[in-house]
């Protein structure tokens, strides 16, 4: 179940990206100019910028990089490596030509997008590779950088992962605090289903007894919270295909395969977005176009 991906996705990404770029450039200039470039570089000087990987990884964020260049009036550019591609170090992934001052103004913001999003894609691939050979999918969470959610979730897809809901309005996820507030797991589920009959509902359980109690309602998905691989295996047997199962909590790269082999459908991994190490990418400038 991949929720929240619909026809307005690309428009939403574009709007979010435009806002982020504007904020980033305004933050860099702080109402002034790039004093170093203005002092050392003639206004009409032109250059070519090569965006080069310094380490191996999966590329993501090229659309964001191009958007930064175009925001600053740099229209001559070429993406040489598409998102989702694994590359070695010293690979040129993007080329742009234009006024040197504008290229250098674009440098940090462009690299911030590329390195962060490629880092997420690379981390996601590690997890996807870790459960290779099973039917289990690696899925992200809402543990994203404020304002960056659409971009970070796109990077997860570039790395071979799949997306959970994009927002609180896409689907319901009945968690422990909802259960406490509603007076029980089944009661919470029934309240959501009554008010929003057409949306997907996921219910979090942390014991096998809770799992059994909610199965009578056949939710779309059940989140197994902080269960061991052995408990997940038991949950799969109990569920018998009535609902899809997602494991979350206590999962690491070293035990991911054990969880996947339990038979669950998804592993929810917050680290894809909140802890991914940036992929090292640099900009190399050459004079002339």
Asked if 268 contacts 138 with a C-beta cutoff of 8 angstroms, the reply is no
Catalytic residue among 175, 187, 193, 244: 175
Q: Does residue 79 sit in helix, strand or coil?
A: strand
Q: Which of 143, 170, 186, 166 is nearest to 275 (CA)?
A: 143
How many whole angstroms separate alpha carbon 86 and alpha carbon 91? 10
Distance from C-alpha of 215 to C-alpha of 240, rounded to nearest angstrom: 10
Measured between alpha carbons, how far is residue 90 from residues 49, 212, 215 in Å?
14, 53, 52
Per the residue annotation, which of 28, 70, 95, 108 is the catalytic one? 108
Alpha carbon separation from 260 to 77, 143, 228, 266, 283 (Å, rounded): 42, 22, 11, 8, 39
Catalytic residue among 152, 204, 246, 265: 204
Structure tokens at 70: 């175009």
The number of angstroms, rounded, from the C-alpha of 192 to the middle of its chain's C-alpha atoms is 27
Given 107, 152, 225, 265, the catalytic residue:
225
Rounded CA gap, 173 and 204, in Å? 7
Q: For the CA atoms of the chain, what is the radius of gyration?
A: 23
Distance CA 180, CA 173 (A): 14
Active-site residue, 225 included: yes
| 157 assigned to active site | no
46 is catalytic: no
- Catalytic site includes residue 204: yes
The alpha-helical segments, DSSP class H, found in 41-99 are: 62-71
Active site residue 95: no
- Active-site residue, selected from the candidate residues 95, 142, 143, 193: 143
Judge contact between 127 and 79, C-beta under 8 A.
Answer: no
Q: Where are the alpha helices (DSSP H) in 159-269?
A: 176-182, 185-195, 208-215, 229-239, 256-261
- Catalytic residue ranges: 108, 143, 175, 204, 225
């Amino acid at each position: 179940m991949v929720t929240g991906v619909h026809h307005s996705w690309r428009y939403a990404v574009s709007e979010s990206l435009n806002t982020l770029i504007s904020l980033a450039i305004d933050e860099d200039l702080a109402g002034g100019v790039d004093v170093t470039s203005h002092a050392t570089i003639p206004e009409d000087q032109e250059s070519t910028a090569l965006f080069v990987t310094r380490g191996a990884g999966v590329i993501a964020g090229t659309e964001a990089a191009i958007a930064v260049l175009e925001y600053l009036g740099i229209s001559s550019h070429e993406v040489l490596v598409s998102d989702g591609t694994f590359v070695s170090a010293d690979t040129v992934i993007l080329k742009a030509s234009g006024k040197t001052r504008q290229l250098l103004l674009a440098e940090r913001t462009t690299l911030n997008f590329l390195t962060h999003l490629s880092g997420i894609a690379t981390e996601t691939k590690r997890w996807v590779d870790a459960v290779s050979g099973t039917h289990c999918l690696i899925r992200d969470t809402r543990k994203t950088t404020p304002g960056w959610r659409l971009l970070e979730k796109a990077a997860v897809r570039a790395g071979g992962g799949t997306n959970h809901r994009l927002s609180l309005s896409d689907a319901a996820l009945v968690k422990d605090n909802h259960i406490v507030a509603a007076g029980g797991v089944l009661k919470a589920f029934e309240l959501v289903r009554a008010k929003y009959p057409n949306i997907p509902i996921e219910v979090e359980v942390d014991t096998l007894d809770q799992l059994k109690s909610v199965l009578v309602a056949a939710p779309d998905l059940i989140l197994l919270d902080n269960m061991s691989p052995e408990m997940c295996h038991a949950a799969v047997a109990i569920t018998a295909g009535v609902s899809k199962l997602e494991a979350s909590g206590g999962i690491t790269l070293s035990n991911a395969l054990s969880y996947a082999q339990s038979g669950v459908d998804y592993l929810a991994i917050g680290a894809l977005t909140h802890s991914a190490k940036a992929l090292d990418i640099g900009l190399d400038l050459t004079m002339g176009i």
